[in-house]
Amino acid sequence: MSTLAGPEPAALAPPSPARGGDDRTAFLREFLRDPFTVAAVTPSGRPLADLVTATVPHDGAPLVVELGPGTGAFTAAVQRRLAGRGRHLAVEINARFAARLAARYPGVDVEVADARGLRGVLARRGHGRADVIVSGLPWAAFAPDRQDDLLDAVTGGLAPHGAFTTFAYTHTRWAPPARRLRRALRSRFEEVVLSRTVWANLPPAFVYYCRRPRTPAQAAAGGPPPVEPAA
Ligand SMILES: C[S@@+](CC[C@H](N)C(=O)[O-])C[C@H]1O[C@@H](n2cnc3c(N)ncnc32)[C@H](O)[C@@H]1O
């Protein structure tokens, strides 16, 4: 991947009003085309992006994988943190989003693919497992078997020392798909920590920080994940 040096490139600067508006228009257009895959009407804001990408280390040369980048709200934050180090692979199922992203961020390796195929994407590039995976995937819109397949892809593609972050909207926090996701995360990771609510995001959201992925055998031996208290 190319490196980014010198003054902050325009692509990494906070979006100008014109570019932000352009992203919002593109996002809404893609939502109207495929609401169950995009599953949000507007891109995430910078405060949420900064929290989601806080696991990207400020030193070394990590391999960072981003799932579901959309118009690049988290992409810009990852690139800011990497500042030219490491590698950044973005996996996006929507070819139009992917083309915009590749044009705007030449330092990011963008692949049009279903994130369920993450292991294959990594293998084709000769990469090992990722040090950090950040996800913009709309978990609450996914059926249980799709959630499971995607989480298997995440744990299969993450290094044992790695960190996985993803976000959820606060208003869906107690909905069945969100509760199911939480149980699934706790069965697949030894540590799952929830952030504060980011009220500045539209809609408000929070982040899951997941570390120490369990192998499938460990997850099975660990028994059922803890039952959650009702809302
Ligand atoms: C809620 S949007 C989030 C976009 C961006 N990360 C943000 O926060 O503004 C969900 C994104 O995930 C992508 N997506 C949905 N299912 C996917 C899958 N199976 N594999 C890869 N990308 C997927 C959608 O196309 C969309 O770009």
Cα–Cα distance, 40 to 94 (Å, whole number): 14
Query: Read out DSSP for 39-86?
Result: --SSPPPHHHHHHHTTTS-SSS--EEEEE--TTTHHHHHHHHHHTT-S
In the chain, % of residues over pLDDT 70: 88
Cβ of 68 less than 6 Å from ligand 1:
yes
- Which ligand 1 atom sits nearest the alpha carbon of residue 115? 20
Q: Whose CA is nearest to atom 19 of ligand 1?
A: 114
Give pLDDT, residue 219.
73
Task: For residue 13, name the pLDDT band (cuts at 50, 70, 90).
Answer: low
142 alpha carbon – ligand 1 mean position (Å): 11
Query: Read out DSSP for 132-148?
Result: EEEE---GGGS-HHHHH
Cα–Cα distance, 116 to 44 (Å, whole number): 22
Task: For residue 56, name the pLDDT band (cuts at 50, 70, 90).
Answer: very high
Second CATH level (architecture) for the domain 17-219: 3-Layer(aba) Sandwich (3.40)
Cβ of 65 less than 6 Å from ligand 1:
no
Global pTM? 0.89
Task: For residue 16, name the pLDDT band (cuts at 50, 70, 90).
Answer: low
Give pLDDT, residue 129.
98
What does the domain layout of the chain look like in residue ranges?
Answer: 17-219
Give pLDDT, residue 231.
46
pLDDT exceeds cutoff 90 at 182: yes
Cα–Cα distance, 148 to 169 (Å, whole number): 19
Q: Whose CA is nearest to atom 14 of ligand 1?
A: 68
Task: For residue 20, name the pLDDT band (cuts at 50, 70, 90).
Answer: confident
Cβ of 114 less than 6 Å from ligand 1:
yes
pLDDT exceeds cutoff 90 at 3: no
